[in-house]
Amino acid sequence: MKSLPPTASVLALVQAIERHGSNAPAALAFRSALRRAGMEADAVGGYQALDELLFAVTDADPERADARMLIIRAAWEGLLPGSG
């Protein structure tokens, strides 16, 4: 049975994108990994699993929540309702 990607690994990917800037080559690779993590979460638990990870990451640092929400929504476009 598959399990959700760990919140810590999703958070680490988001933090890496923040560090490098969204258009840097390294950030594109991290965004691809973040996309795969979203696809894994979706396969395991659908929207509820994606939502759980999304809010765990944004709640980790409320001051960065909006920016992190944008990063995740961009990476998970088409997976989250209303995102594509």
Q: Where do the domains of the chain lie? A: 20-75
Per residue in 3-62, pLDDT tens?
A: 778 899 999 999 999 999 878 999 999 999 999 999 999 999 999 999 999 999 999 999
Give 67's pLDDT tier (boundaries 50, 70, 90).
very high
Per-residue pLDDT averaged across 53-80, rounded?
94
pTM: 0.89
Residue 48 Cα distances to 14, 16, 26, 51, 63, angstroms: 19, 25, 29, 5, 24
User: Is residue 83 pLDDT above 80, yes or no?
Assistant: no
Q: Supply the angle between the helices 7-20 and 65-75 in degrees, to the nearest 10.
A: 100
